[in-house]
């Protein structure tokens, strides 16, 4: 299974750590110990103490770094950090006081082992790390710790999406905290926000405020992608004496076909593509000069087969209107929609007469409504007004570099680059050969 972004989502497997990590003070290695001596040379006798076996300096060994041995008050969101010596891999076993095994998984960069769920409060745990050397021999280290008491001040987190949802290729993952996370604490919180996708795609979190953090991939999601997320904040220090109330997960978000709409003010046409192929060009009427449509990239926020546009409260009795609308698809919080407009058919494809919406015929509006999903991108070009970030889901109105600036931790690619051919490889590919490509996730 391929996975992506800021660490692998813990999935419930007992993890194996591979590779040699250098470390000092490793358990199981008694460096610099002198060999025991016999009585030879002190009296000429042949008797005396039996020589003790020397510790093997090449034996596989592990040192548990975090949590410290017999530590108390350990965070229920703790991660297991250990170091290896003379080892090619290691296994981690964590058990609670009842002997129940807690599953978990290594971060993709191997920096720590993450339990698959929040640990219990005021509970004792036994931790065993077994290192395996290249010769197959093992070295085992055991430790124990007790977790913190249940906190009284907690922060809840809520998700816009639910399990088994379906969305368009531009859909962001959006989460809200019940209390603002202090800026100094956001990096530690963000490190516990895991997203995985199949296939693996780069992406990052962006803090829009202390209470909102959103995730988007570097490019639009690939059609058919499966996305899972775990915000592992249960028991996590959220700053100012507050702790995460509990983990929240998103399971089996399915990304649909790549439906992308481009509305061009110059041609008064909307070009609709599906999976890279143009499937329709629709005549439209955009916002007139006094109420122009916004140029920029948004995604569809919500959809209504039937609704009523009521602007009396906003515009007053002289300019306001109340109109039934069919096949409405919201683009901005400011009130711009794609919708059916039978009253402007004669202007569609020719001139702009709307209050900022993208008007189209009832037949075209129904056809498009049945094609699209929440999260499908809509790009409007060439109007008198530029889209303001925050007026809708404007994640794609920012460049990737701009989006990365909103992260509290540096971006690290999850996608392994394809290696360049070596000089010994033929420059001409073999047409009969088959090829596969794989990507390895990283933190």
Residues with active-site annotation: 339, 357
Measured in degrees and rounded to the nearest 5, phi and psi for residue 22 equal: -70, 145
Kindly state the DSSP code that residue 313 receives in the 8-state scheme. Answer: H
| SS3 call for 148 | coil
| Whole-Å CA distances, 434 to 296, 373, 429, 437 | 42, 36, 10, 11
The strand pair at 166-167 and 248-255 is best described as: parallel
> How far apart are the C-alpha atoms of 327 and 422, rounded to whole Å?
56
Query: Tokens 């059916």 appear where?
Result: 340
DSSP assignments along 338-386, one per residue: EEE-GGGTTTTTT---BSSSEEE-HHHHHHHHHH--TT-EEEEES-SEE
Q: Which two tokens stand for residue 155?
A: 């922060």
> How far apart are the C-alpha atoms of 334 and 314, rounded to whole Å?
11
> How far apart are the C-alpha atoms of 274 and 223, rounded to whole Å?
10
- Please compute, for residue 353, the number of CA atoms within 13 A of its CA located in the half-sphere on the CB side: 14
| SS3 call for 412 | coil
- Cα angle, residue 237 at apex, residues 402 and 98 outer, rounded to 5°: 130
Nearest to 377 by CA among 167, 195, 207: 167
| SS3 call for 187 | helix
Cβ atoms of 265 and 383 closer than 8 Å = yes
> How far apart are the C-alpha atoms of 17 and 92, rounded to whole Å?
9
The strand pair at 269-274 and 358-360 is best described as: unpaired
Nearest to 380 by CA among 332, 328, 326, 345: 332
Cβ atoms of 52 and 77 closer than 8 Å = no
Residue 32, strand partner residues: none
Cβ atoms of 347 and 357 closer than 8 Å = no
Cis, peptide link before residue 67, omega less than 30° from 0:
yes
């Amino acid at each position: 299974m391929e996975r992506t972004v800021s660490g692998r989502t813990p999935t419930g497997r007992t993890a194996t750590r591979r590779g040699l990590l250098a470390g000092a003070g490793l358990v199981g290695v008694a460096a610099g110990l002198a060999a025991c001596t016999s009585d030879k040379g002190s009296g000429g006798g042949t008797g005396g103490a039996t020589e003790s076996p020397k510790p093997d300096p090449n034996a596989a060994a592990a040192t548990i770094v975090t949590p410290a041995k017999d530590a108390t008050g350990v965070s229920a969101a703790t991660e297991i950090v250990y170091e290896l010596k003379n080892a090619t891999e290691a296994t981690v076993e964590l058990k609670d006081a009842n002997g129940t095994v807690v599953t978990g998984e290594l971060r993709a960069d191997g920096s720590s082992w993450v339990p698959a769920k929040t640990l219990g409060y005021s509970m004792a745990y036994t931790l065993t790390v077994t290192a395996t050397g290249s010769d197959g021999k093992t070295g085992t280290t055991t430790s124990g710790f007790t977790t913190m008491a249940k906190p009284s001040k907690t922060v809840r987190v809520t998700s816009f999406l639910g399990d088994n949802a379906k969305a368009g290729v531009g859909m962001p993952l959006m989460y809200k905290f019940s209390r603002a996370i202090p800026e100094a604490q956001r990096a530690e919180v963000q490190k516990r926000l895991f997203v995985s996708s199949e296939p693996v795609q780069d992406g990052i979190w962006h803090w829009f405020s202390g209470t909102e953090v959103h995730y988007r991939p570097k490019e639009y999601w690939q059609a058919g992608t499966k996305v899972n997320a775990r915000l592992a904040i249960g028991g996590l220090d959220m700053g100012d004496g507050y702790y995460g109330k509990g983990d929240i997960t998103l399971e089996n978000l399915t990304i649909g076909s790549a439906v992308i709409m481009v509305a061009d003010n110059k041609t008064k046409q909307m070009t609709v593509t599906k999976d890279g192929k143009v499937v329709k060009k629709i005549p439209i009427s955009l916002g007139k000069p006094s109420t122009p449509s916004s140029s920029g990239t948004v995604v569809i926020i919500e959809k209504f087969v039937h609704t009523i546009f009521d602007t009396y409260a906003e515009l007053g009795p002289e300019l306001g209107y109340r109109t039934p609308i069919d096949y409405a698809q919201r683009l901005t919080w400011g009130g711009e929609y794609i919708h059916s407009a039978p009253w402007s058919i004669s202007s569609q494809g020719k001139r702009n007469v709307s209050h900022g919406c993208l008007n189209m015929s009832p037949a075209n509006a129904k056809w498009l409504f049945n094609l699209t999903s929440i999260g499908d991108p809509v790009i409007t070009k060439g109007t008198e007004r530029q889209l303001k970030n925050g007026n809708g889901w404007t994640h794609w109105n920012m460049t990737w570099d701009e989006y990365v600036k909103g992260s509290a931790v540096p971006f690290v690619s999850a996608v392994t680059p394809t290696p360049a051919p070596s000089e010994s490889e033929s420059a001409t590919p073999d047409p009969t050969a088959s090829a596969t490509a794989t990507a390895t996730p990283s933190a």
